[in-house]
Amino acid sequence: MSRRRHSDDSDAGQPHKRRRTSEPSEIEERLESLICRVGEKSNSSLESNLEGLAGVLEADLPNYKSKILRILCTVARLLPEKLTVYTTLVGLLNARNYNFGGEFVEAMIRQLKECLKVNMYNEAVHLVRFLSDLVNCHVIAAPSMVAMFENFVSVTQEEDVPQVRCDWYMFAFLSSLPWVGKELYEKKDAEMDRLLSQTESYLKRRQKIHVPMLQVWTADKPHPQEEYLDCLWSQIQKLKKDRWQERHILRPYLAFDSVLCEALQHNLPPFTPPPHTEDSVYPMPRVIFRMFDYTDDPEGPVMPGSHSVERFVIEENLHCIIKSHWKERKTCAAQLLSYPGNNKIPLNYHIVEVIFAELFQLPSPPHIEVMYTTLLIELCKLQPGSLPQVLAQATEMLYMRLDTMNTTCVDRFINWFSHHLSNFQFRWSWEDWSDCLTQDLEKPKPKFVREVLEKCMRKFDLMKHPEGADNIKIERCLIIPFITGCKYKPKHKRSLPGYTVALCLTIAIKNKASNDEIFSILKDVPNPNQDDDDGEGFSFNPLKIEVFVQTLLHLAAKSFSHSFSALAKFHEVFKTLAESDEGKLHVLRVVYEVWKNHPQMIAVLVDKMIRTQIVDCAAVANWIFSSELAHDFTRFYIWEILHSTIRKMNKHVLKIHKELEETKARLARQHKRRDSDDDDDDDDRSTDREDGPLEEQIERLQEKVESAQSEQKNLFLVIFQRFIMLLTEHLVRCETGGIDVFTPWYKSCIERLQQIFLQHHQIIQQYMVTLENLLFTAELDHHILAVFQQFCALQA
């Protein structure tokens, strides 16, 4: 490899040439590029590329050592999928320059400490693995690595620390063993045996209450959904039984064994795990998602078993590739498909399994859901002859196992499948699923198909695309029983008492009446709650609300924009009619009555009404749990609305909080500026005057934050309270009637409760004490209490 060196006379007499100050960053960029791209798009072997790069870097060490150190530490942290490539590089550098090797190890330890301090535990695992692979490259002495692991495992002996803390140190130790187990066992077998037996006893005594909440399927067949540490332990035990023989990991350093053997090794400094603090936030436990095994691809290479260490390594690397390239879908797809070992493993199956593992991950996927849809489409484009079949096979399997799939995961499956189909003209073997036509609508399979079709209909107008209708042949049979009424006609009740007022309103609105004119027309509507009427006609009048809202929504039915304009134009009327809590609830009821055949419209109207403060979040929560909605209670769109409502509440709190912090910062800056201009005449009154408006603003904002947080807390309390009431009713009814508790409705409802905890766990964690004392007390039915206890176990 050649590198052009900048000549010293580059800017003599040539002012337009680049100035020296920009050189260092250019060089850093070049170094970074050389290191990051080593081995890519090259005709020579990886080994010769590494050798060449090592030579170049060695030559640059005198001038650019700190930059090279920084870059190498960063790739260790952020490119774990190329772990062994970079440990080999470091090994070669260490062989040529012992001091550099030592400095690198020190820098890595510093970086590890910093990661742990700022709660970056995933990056920290990559660093630990990197250090352990450096043993294989003769950079770090095996005994010192074992000593570090001894300190890690001893964390499990700490008292009064959260289990998730011990879990992390155990994971960091175990997950490095596929790379370095053999070497460590060869050098220090007694110590390793001791560590492994300590591991075994920790894993036996550790509690696993959280597992059911995180499993995608509750069934153990065909593949058990194991807790991540249990699965890893099984894999390591098998590895040990196989005498630590591991054949999947690419180890470039093997080719350099003669060179690396000659290198002097460094000892890791003694590493004390930083103590647990109030601010420590450890990773949540996980459940390993498995949907395939070797029987699913009988023609191709054998898929490594669920307890093989190969499976672990492949999955880790594929997850890391997605994490590295999630923003660049084409690159991500290409990198996944070029994972080494393509002909020895059924790569397409691994990729599909890993992608679904992320999509279905509980509490939430690592990346936005739509990314996975588009990534799968890119993969299908790159492998049109093989990947679509694997995807179809996977879809079929997911459909077959809907009965035991977690409701939240079913939601995501619905979203993914309907969106995916819309990119492929809705082509699918729908007839294969016609068995669901004969089943009760509440059963998982027909429910799923109905929700998928409802979503497909949103993207696709059957009237416009008869060819598409041919593809959804089954739709013709399904739609009629599932969705009654033709496309989204709002319901209009002519029998309503206020009908004449409705007619007047219609004419007035068409003639661009003002809010005041509307008010005067509405005054004529009698109030069925006569005694509540305070004479001014502004108390809760359900009839007024019905007449106004129904009329307006019918007139504005043409499109979302029309409806939004209507809400905006008559905002004043809405606010007045919906002033009370009952008013808000009734507005929501009427909206639902008008648009119950068009869930999408209900969702966008509710969203707009919250944003324009016609209704508040608590009203939406109460409405969702009201008896009027019981029929639609298990429909997907209802939960989309509820979670969207909660998210709006959370964003609102964050926004005001941010405003408060920013204003406080402004005040602080003002003080600072004043302190530095100290030599001016000190006029106490003028400084107070300056602070005044900002301090007032801060006070107001603090009140706003408190009131927003109180509203947020109240929202969760309402939701949990209503869940408890609903579930308790069902449980009592079943008990007295002697029927089985586990109806499809019950499964759906209890999983929706779990979903609230999981999707908003960070906020809810703030209110744990209140929840425990007020709602989730010991008197509660154990079925419901179990959900709360599982949630608590996630942070224990």
Partner 1 sequence: CRTQQGWTRPGSAAMSSGGTLSILRSDSYAELSQYRDQHFRGTRYDQERLLRKSCTLYVGNLSFYTTEEQIHELFGKSGDIKKVIMGLDKVKKTACGFCFVEYYARGDAENAMRYINGTRLDDRIIRTDWDAGFKEGRQYGRGRSGGQVRDEYRQDYDAGRGGYGKIVQCQ
Residue 323: CB minimum distance to partner 1, A:
7
Least CB distance from residue 711 to partner 1, whole Å? 19
Which residues in the 222-261 window bind partner 1 by CB under 8 A? 228
Q: State the nearest-atom distance from the C-beta of 174 to partner 1, in Å.
A: 15
Residue 223 vs 367, nearer CB to partner 1: 367
Q: What are phi and psi of 570, to 5 degrees?
A: -105, 30
Smallest gap, in angstroms, from Cβ of residue 373 to partner 1?
Answer: 7
- Stretch (H or E) spanning 544: helix 542-555
Residue selected from 154, 198, 364, 670 as contacting partner 1 according to rule CB under 8 A: 364
Does 37 participate in binding partner 1 (rule CB under 8 A)? yes
**Residue 760, interface with partner 1 (CB under 8 A)?**
no
* Residue among 284 and 734 whose Cβ is closer to partner 1: 284
Of 264, 351, 363, 366, the C-alpha closest to 315 is 351
| Residue of 762, 770, 774, 777 interacting with partner 1 (CB under 8 A) | 762
Contact 291, 301 (CB under 8 A): no
Taken in order 591, 596, 600, 601, the sign of the CA dihedral is: negative
For residue 343, CA distances in Å to 248, 301, 330, 401 come to: 12, 7, 22, 30
Q: Which residues, numbered 538-597, are part of the site for partner 1 (CB under 8 A)?
A: 559-561, 564
Q: Which residues sit opposite 198 in a β-bridge?
A: none
Question: H or E segment at 191?
Answer: helix 189-205
Among 371, 453, 501, 549, the residue binding partner 1 under the rule CB under 8 A is 371
377 is a site residue for partner 1 (CB under 8 A)? yes
In the complex, minimum distance from the CB of residue 303 to partner 1, in angstroms, rounded to a whole number: 23
Interacting residues with partner 1 between 639 and 668 (CB under 8 A): 644, 648
Q: Are 748 and 635 in contact (CB under 8 A)?
A: no
Q: Return the number of the residue (335 or 527) whose C-beta is nearest partner 1.
A: 335
Q: What b/e readout covers 524-553, taking b as 16+ CB neighbours within 10 angstroms?
A: ebeeeeeeeeeeeeebbbbbbbbbbbbbbb
Distances (CA, A) of 13 to 16, 20, 23, 26, 625: 9, 14, 18, 22, 79
Q: Which listed residue (82, 129, 290, 419) binds partner 1 by CB under 8 A?
A: 419
Nearest approach, Cβ of 354 to partner 1 (angstroms)? 12
Give CA–CA dist 699/717, Å, rounded.
27
For residues 518 and 505, the answer to whether their CB atoms sit within 8 Å is yes
Pick the piece of the chain touching partner 1 (CB under 8 A) from 7-15, 460-468, 570-578, 703-711.
Answer: 460-468
Q: Does 324 bind partner 1 (CB under 8 A)?
A: yes
Residues 6+ apart with CB under 8 A from 182: 244, 245, 246
Integer Cα distance of 118 and 102 in angstroms? 25
Q: Of 162, 224, 301, 341, which lies in the binding site for partner 1, with binding defined by CB under 8 A? A: 162
> How wide is the angle at C-alpha 287 spanned by C-alphas 185 and 391, nearest 5°?
105
How many residues in total does the chain contain? 796
According to the binding rule CB under 8 A, does residue 29 interact with partner 1? yes
On the 0-12 / 13-18 / 19+ scale of CB atoms within 10 A, 480 is: exposed
Which of 653, 636, 782 is closest to 714 using CA atoms? 653
Binding residues for partner 1 restricted to 177-206, rule: CB under 8 A: none
Q: How far is the CB of 458 from partner 1 (least distance, A)?
A: 4
Residue number, 421 or 525, with CB nearest to partner 1 = 421
> Does the footprint of partner 1 cover residue 422 (CB under 8 A)?
yes
H-assigned helices in 338-386: 347-359, 369-382
Measured from the CB of residue 598, what is the shortest distance to partner 1 in angstroms?
9
If the CB atoms of residues 127 and 140 are measured against partner 1, the closer one turns out to be 127
Work out how close the CB of 228 gets to partner 1 at its nearest, in angstroms, rounded to a whole number: 8
Residue 703: both structure tokens together: 């009140």
* Amino acid present at 134: L
369 binds partner 1 per the rule CB under 8 A: yes
If DSSP states are collapsed to H, E and C, what string results for 78-99?
Answer: HCHHHHHHHHHHHHHHHHHCHH
Cα-based angle 70, 74, 78 (whole degrees, multiple of 5) = 175
Q: Which stretch binds partner 1 (CB under 8 A): 13-21, 91-99, 369-377, 543-551?
A: 369-377
Nearer to partner 1, 361 or 550 (CB): 361
Q: How far is the CB of 155 from partner 1 (least distance, A)?
A: 14
Residues in contact with partner 1, shown as a per-residue x/- string from 83 to 122 under the rule CB under 8 A = ---------------------------xx--xx--xxxxx
Other Cβ atoms within 10 Å of 376 Cβ, number = 25
Minimum separation from the CB atom of position 283 to partner 1 (A): 5
Contact stretch for partner 1 (CB under 8 A) within 60-68, 272-280, 584-592, 674-682? 272-280
Distance of CA 229 to the CA centre of its chain: 21
Q: Which stretch, 50-58, 229-237, 459-467, 681-689, contacts partner 1 (CB under 8 A)?
A: 459-467
Q: Does 790 bind partner 1 (CB under 8 A)?
A: no
Residue from the set 105, 164, 180, 646 that interacts with partner 1 by CB under 8 A: 164
Query: Which one of 458, 476, 666, 689 is in contact with partner 1 (CB under 8 A)?
Result: 458
Cα of 350 vs its chain's centroid, Å: 21
The closest of 463, 360, 372 to 404, measured between CA atoms, is 360
How many C-alpha atoms does 306 have within 13 Å on its Cβ side? 17
What x-and-dash track marks residues 116-155 binding partner 1 by CB under 8 A? --xxxxxx--------------------------------
Task: Please say which residue, 381 or 700, places its beta carbon nearer to partner 1.
Answer: 381
Instruction: Copy the structure tokens of residue 337.
Output: 């498909």
Question: Given candidates 328, 435, 524, 579, which one binds partner 1 under the rule CB under 8 A?
Answer: 328
Question: What dihedral do alpha carbons 358, 361, 364, 365 form, nearest 10°?
Answer: 0
If binding is defined by CB under 8 A, does position 752 make contact with partner 1? no
- Of positions 11, 47, 65, 70, contacts partner 1 by CB under 8 A: 70
Phi, psi of 705 (to 5 degrees): -60, -45
Q: Which is nearer to partner 1, 663 or 795 (CB)?
A: 795
Please state the φ and ψ torsions of residue 246, each to the nearest 5 degrees. -130, 125
Q: How far apart are CA 792 and CA 764, in angstroms?
A: 11
Span near partner 1 by CB under 8 A; candidates 336-344, 346-354, 428-436, 458-466: 458-466
Q: Which residues pair with 217 in a beta bridge?
A: 405
Region binding partner 1 by CB under 8 A among candidate stretches 162-170, 671-679, 723-731, 775-783 = 162-170
Q: How far is the CB of 276 from partner 1 (least distance, A)?
A: 8
Which lies closer to partner 1 via its Cβ, residue 214 or residue 724? 214
We find the least distance from the C-beta atom of residue 442 to partner 1, in angstroms, to be 25
CB of 328 to partner 1, least distance (A): 6
Cβ neighbours around 193 below 10 Å, total: 12
Q: Does 366 bind partner 1 (CB under 8 A)?
A: yes
CA dist 650 and 659 (Å) reads: 14
Using the rule CB under 8 A, which residue among 100, 282, 312, 428 binds partner 1?
A: 282
| Cβ nearer to partner 1, comparing 430 with 564 | 564
By the rule CB under 8 A, 423 interacts with partner 1: yes
| Subset of residues 712 to 731 that bind partner 1, contact rule: CB under 8 A | none
Q: Toward partner 1, which CB reaches closer, 119 or 338? A: 119
Question: Backbone phi, then psi, for 762, in 5-degree steps?
Answer: -65, -40
Of 11, 257, 581, 607, the one binding partner 1 (CB under 8 A) is 607
User: How many chain residues interact with partner 1 (CB under 8 A)?
Assistant: 86
